[in-house]
Amino acid sequence: MCGRYAVTLPDEAMRQIFATDNLIQSVPRYNIAPTQPVIAIWVDDAMRRTAKLARWGLVPGWVKDPREFPLLINARAETMATKPAFRDSVKHKRCILPASGYYEWQTLPNGKKQPYYITLKDNQPLALAGLYSSWMGPDGEEIDTVATITVPAGPDVAHIHDRMPALMQGSQIDLWLDTKNMRFAEVEPFVVPQLEGIMAFHPVSTRVNSAANEGPDLIVPASEVIDGAARDKSMKVKTKKSSQLDLF
């Protein structure tokens, strides 16, 4: 699964790279966790590519009380088209989530788990394939929610974890977002593991295990971390309360 990721792109760079019609003001985030607000991109009714703030944890529109519904942060590519929670979004509400990298945990022989930070080898931003849904509350409030799509891990990262996020690249992004003209069967071939030689990774501090921890030290290679702090003293460790939404 993909349960944590980072977005460190400047706002204007994100708008240009992902060709959105709007700009969302944000700050670099190094430890995005489920239920927190995230930036997602989809095409609106006027076919404009729009950046939105959405809750990470998809809630289908037919759910009466999100508090009694499971937290759906990932959709498995193999089954999402048939799952009631995802099948409408697969057809009509596909999105991408910009990211700089994501985290995964490798289970060691002693049972402990070592977190890794995983990126593209060429350092380009990631476009995580996703699904979205809008939930309407009893008082008329509307909340956009998203889930990332996962696939079997590619050869570069399979030794860390058996799943990885599905990634869109180049023209795949345009076609994936175009739910008006592109049936899911036409874009389903894009939802596959990455080929060998595409991904890069390195171990990081276990400080990332807590969603309350933030800051650039979280993506520093573990060999450069001493007692939870980066060697570079200019990288100050930042701890803050989780920004998880309390709407649910």
Out of 12, 68, 95, 104, pick the active-site residue.
104
At 50, which amino acid appears?
A: T
DSSP single-letter state for residue 150: E
CA distance 46 to 168: 22
Residues in the chain: 248
CA distance 119 to 9: 13
CA distance 174 to 48: 11
Is 95 one of the annotated active-site residues of the chain?
no
Is 104 one of the annotated active-site residues of the chain?
yes
CA distance 3 to 115: 11
Count CB-CB contacts under 10 A for residue 215: 20
What Å distances lie between residue 51 and 6, 28, 151, CA to CA? 17, 16, 24
At 223, which amino acid appears?
A: S
- Residues facing 193 on adjacent strands: none
DSSP string covering 34-57? TTSEEEEEEE-TTS-EEEEEEEES
**Structure tokens belonging to residue 199:** 């991904």
Pairing, β 49-56 against β 142-152? parallel
Pairing, β 229-230 against β 74-76? unpaired
Catalytic residues: 2, 104
